[in-house]
Amino acid sequence: MKYVCGRGFALCLALAQLTGVHASKRPGAEPTEPLPPSEPTEMAPPPADAPKPALDVRIAVVAEGMDRLPSNSRVELQGEGPGACKSLKRDQMIQADGVLFRDLAVCKVKLRLFITGFDTKAVLLDLANYKGRLKITVKEEGPPTVTW
């Protein structure tokens, strides 16, 4: 089957070339100048307001001094900045393997961590730096530690 498609393509290409030759040699047709060769062009960067691809962000959350997180621990995610980022808001319970936020816009986000026995902690992240699973270690005192 692939040979038939290749022959059909070659036939169409040959007919297109023949049609172009005949059209320029019709009686009464004005002669045309050949087009100059095109120069290679660089692709323009996408506009600043162009939609960026969505990410699935996996986050492992660990509490210092605990083997497992208490039940009802959760993460609240809120977008920072203009456009789709501003309206981004998610809330998810922390499972044994962490949390997975699906289809997030690539933007800066604020994570608020609610873990029983700890003060509420907050972390600012730029998802443009996300390469894979990240780990957040929550301490009793001080800010959480983020490992990319």
Per-residue pLDDT of the chain (148 residues; tens, 9 = 90+): 444 555 555 555 555 565 555 444 556 666 677 777 766 667 667 676 666 678 999 999 999 999 999 999 999 999 998 888 999 999 999 999 999 999 999 999 999 999 998 999 999 999 999 998 899 999 999 999 999 8
End-to-end C-alpha distance for the chain, whole angstroms:
49
Query: What Å distances lie between residue 106 and 7, 99, 118, 140, CA to CA?
Result: 45, 17, 29, 30
Residue 98 belongs to a domain: yes
Residue 50 belongs to a domain: no
Per the structure, how many domains does the chain have? 1
Q: What is the CATH number of the domain that holds 106?
A: 2.60.40.1120
pLDDT score for 125: 96
Q: Whole domain around residue 141: which residue ranges?
A: 55-147
Residue 85 belongs to a domain: yes
pLDDT score for 11: 56
pLDDT score for 27: 62
pLDDT score for 43: 66
